[in-house]
């Protein structure tokens, strides 16, 4: 697949009302996943019909429009992006923007269940870094958290990616009373393999089967606890995402912290998200969105898409409204994380 770049002239950069330039796009290629993580999905999910999902060509076209307007980092998400049929056709096509220098990074976030199949092809397409979501190194606990996950399949996927020279960062959702006794083991596991690790606060998105308030663990507490056993020094390392990093003196490796609740990162937000249906969310923690599917399918010209994007960026809020509602146990945002794309 090669989407035509006939209209791929460099356009005006996307700058929001607060002077932040949008250089990072997170693109969901599917709402489906082969796991059912307890903090992310209900066990019996209802997924979108195929007709509502953008084709691979449409995903390519939208991405190209954003790249033409200054996006330098593109992350493919889901659901689980590697369960999307034909996903490597899209990745290979998008890699042309790496070759021209228009795109600095093409990457993805995955649960690693399919990495053994795709690691070699991803590396060949120019993917140099992957985020792997993994919340436990204990097989029984991993199974309980993911409901459907196969632990050894994930381990094999991580090994396959590392063997291809792909850098991996482990993303761990910090869950109080669930995996908070494993953090030291996870740091050892990652740093022994030259992998970074990032802890993430659970986000109040979507109705799930459990009480999310009981799981919430502020990372300020995690960091304070870790500092009792590790020598943590501030690190200037940045990946373009929302994590702040420290370096561990004992290992030389890095730990990241993503804190949407205890200390939000909105002031420097350079990101927007597109769902697999072509809905543009200017903020993960707000419901305001713009429909890009209609102008995408209405004309072969990109003019309508570009106009819709610029109007949407003009509405990008200063920050999100995430809050853990302990009184009503309701999520701040009704849609599941798998719908928005991480």
pLDDT in tens, 159-168: 999 999 999 9
190 labeled binding residue: no
Q: Does residue 139 form part of some domain?
A: yes
pLDDT category, 284, cuts 50, 70, 90?
Answer: confident
Q: Does residue 176 form part of some domain?
A: yes
Q: Are 283 and 267 in contact (CB under 8 A)?
A: no
What is the C-alpha separation between 258 and 89, in angstroms, rounded?
32
Q: Are 109 and 82 in contact (CB under 8 A)?
A: no
What is the C-alpha separation between 337 and 334, in angstroms, rounded?
9
Residue 106 structure tokens: 């093409």
79 labeled binding residue: yes
37 labeled binding residue: yes
342 labeled binding residue: no
Domain range for 221: 24-340
266 labeled binding residue: yes
Beta strand 244-248 pairing with 232-235: antiparallel
273 labeled binding residue: yes
Q: Does residue 2 form part of some domain?
A: no
Furthest-apart CA atoms within the chain: distance in Å = 59
Which residue in 167, 193, 283, 183 sits closest to 232, CA to CA?
183
Q: Does residue 84 form part of some domain?
A: yes
Look at the alpha carbons of 134, 135, 138, 139 in this order and tell me if their dihedral is positive or negative.
negative
Q: What is the pLDDT of residues 252-268, one digit of tens each?
A: 999 999 986 655 557 77
b/e burial code for range 205-239 (CB count within 10 A of at least 16 → b): bbebeeebbebbbbbeebbeebeeebebeeeeeeb
**DSSP character for 292?**
-
Residues sharing a CB contact under 8 Å with residue 224, sequence separation 6 or more, in sequence order: none
Our CA dihedral for 331, 337, 340, 342, rounded to 10 degrees, sits at 130
- The mean pLDDT of 317-342, rounded to a whole number, is 54
Where are the extended beta strands (E) located within the chain?
24-28, 73-77, 105-110, 129-133, 167-174, 196-201, 232-235, 244-248, 254-258, 271-274, 279-281, 289-291
Q: Per mean pLDDT, which range of 19-28, 284-293, 314-323 is the poorest?
A: 314-323
198 labeled binding residue: no
Q: How many domains does the chain have?
A: 1
Q: Is the pLDDT of residue 85 over 80?
A: yes
Q: Does residue 97 form part of some domain?
A: yes
Q: Per mean pLDDT, which range of 76-80, 89-93, 214-218 is the poorest?
A: 214-218
262 labeled binding residue: no
Q: Is the pLDDT of residue 121 over 80?
A: yes
For tokens 């999310």, the residue is: 212
293 labeled binding residue: no
Q: Does residue 7 form part of some domain?
A: no
Higher pLDDT, 10 or 12: 12
CATH number of 171's domain:
3.20.20.70
Q: Does residue 331 form part of some domain?
A: yes
Q: Are 9 and 304 in contact (CB under 8 A)?
A: no
276 labeled binding residue: no
Cross-strand bridge partners of residue 109: 131
What is the C-alpha separation between 182 and 201, in angstroms, rounded?
15
Q: Does residue 1 form part of some domain?
A: no
């Amino acid at each position: 697949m090669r989407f035509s770049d006939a209209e791929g002239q460099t356009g005006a950069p996307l700058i929001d009302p607060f002077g932040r330039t949008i250089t990072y796009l997170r693109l969901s290629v599917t709402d489906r996943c082969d796991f059912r993580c307890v903090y992310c999905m209900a066990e019996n999910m209802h997924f979108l019909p195929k007709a509502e999902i953008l084709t691979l060509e449409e995903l390519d076209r939208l991405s190209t429009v954003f790249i033409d307007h200054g996006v330098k980092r593109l992350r493919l998400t889901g659901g689980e992006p590697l369960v999307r049929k034909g996903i490597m056709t899209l990745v290979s096509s998008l890699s042309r923007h790496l070759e021209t220098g228009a795109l600095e990074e093409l990457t993805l976030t995955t649960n690693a269940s399919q990495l053994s199949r795709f690691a070699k092809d991803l590396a060949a397409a120019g993917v140099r870094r992957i985020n792997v979501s993994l919340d436990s190194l204990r097989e029984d606990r991993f199974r309980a958290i993911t409901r459907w996950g196969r632990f050894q399949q994930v381990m094999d996927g991580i090994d396959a990616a590392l063997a291809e020279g792909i850098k991996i960062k482990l993303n761990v959702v910090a869950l109080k009373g669930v995996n908070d006794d494993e953090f030291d083991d996870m740091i050892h596991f990652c740093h022994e393999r030259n992998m970074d690790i990032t802890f993430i606060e659970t986000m109040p998105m979507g109705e799930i089967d459990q009480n999310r308030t009981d799981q919430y663990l502020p990372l300020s507490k995690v960091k304070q606890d870790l500092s009792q056993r590790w020598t943590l020094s501030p690190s200037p390392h940045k990946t373009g995402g929302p994590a702040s990093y420290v370096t561990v003196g004992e290992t030389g490796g890095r730990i990241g912290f993503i804190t949407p609740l205890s200390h939000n990162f909105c002031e420097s937000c350079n990101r927007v998200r597109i769902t697999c249906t072509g809905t543009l969310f200017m903020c993960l923690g707000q419901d305001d969105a713009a429909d890009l599917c209609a102008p995408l399918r209405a004309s072969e010209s990109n003019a309508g898409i570009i106009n819709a994007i610029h109007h949407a960026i003009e509405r990008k809020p200063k920050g999100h409204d995430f809050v853990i509602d302990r009184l009503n146990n309701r999520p701040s945002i009704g849609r599941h994380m798998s719908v928005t794309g991480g």
